[in-house]
Amino acid sequence: MALLAGCGGLVAGIALTVHSVLFLSRAERVSGVVVELAKADKGMEKPVVAYRVAGKEYRVAAGYASSPPSHGTGDAVDVLHDPGRPEDGHVSPYSRLWLTPVMCLLLGGILTCAGLSGLRPKRVAEPLAAPARGEPKR
């Protein structure tokens, strides 16, 4: 079962890595400004960034929350976006692009190794030799 889950994790990690690489190869970088700090779980906050593409304003929340917040209102940050989908921005740092693929690859690798180690044949102890006929038992 670990082998199956590990292989699935590796496939997902590779697919997500390819997705991130393709996104980065065509992404455009624009400057944005933190316009608010959105409340998240357990008292943490996410920066919400406004940026402009072709005269139109877009807003995107960072893919992470922290306490204290990583950026303050009014801070300038970089935003990456797909030219064909400017509303789909990624705030710097781009951990959202790399954290999930790396975790899938790491966990998939560990589970695959665990599954493969379970496939090794087990060593069976040799049976004790029976006394030869005519020999007294000890």
Query: Hey, what amino acid is at 101?
Result: P
Q: How many domains does the chain have?
A: 1
In a domain, 112, yes or no: no
In a domain, 95, yes or no: yes
Q: Supply the pLDDT for residue 138.
A: 60
CA distance 2 to 9: 10
Enclosing domain of residue 69: 2-101
Confidence of residue 69 (pLDDT cuts 50, 70, 90): confident
Q: Supply the pLDDT for residue 109.
A: 94
Q: Supply the pLDDT for residue 98.
A: 86
- CB neighbour list of residue 44: distance below 8 Å, 6 or more residues apart: 65, 66, 67, 69
Q: Supply the pLDDT for residue 15.
A: 96
Q: Supply the pLDDT for residue 85.
A: 92
Long-range contacts, stretch 17-24, CB < 8 angstroms, 24+ apart: 17/101, 17/105, 19/101, 20/97, 20/98, 20/101, 23/80, 23/82, 23/90, 23/97, 24/80, 24/97
In a domain, 54, yes or no: yes
In a domain, 56, yes or no: yes
In a domain, 136, yes or no: no
In a domain, 6, yes or no: yes
Q: What is the mean pLDDT of residues 94-99?
A: 76
* Res 5 pLDDT > 90: yes
In a domain, 59, yes or no: yes
- Give the CATH number, domain containing residue 7: 2.40.50
Confidence of residue 123 (pLDDT cuts 50, 70, 90): confident
Q: Supply the pLDDT for residue 134.
A: 64
In a domain, 29, yes or no: yes
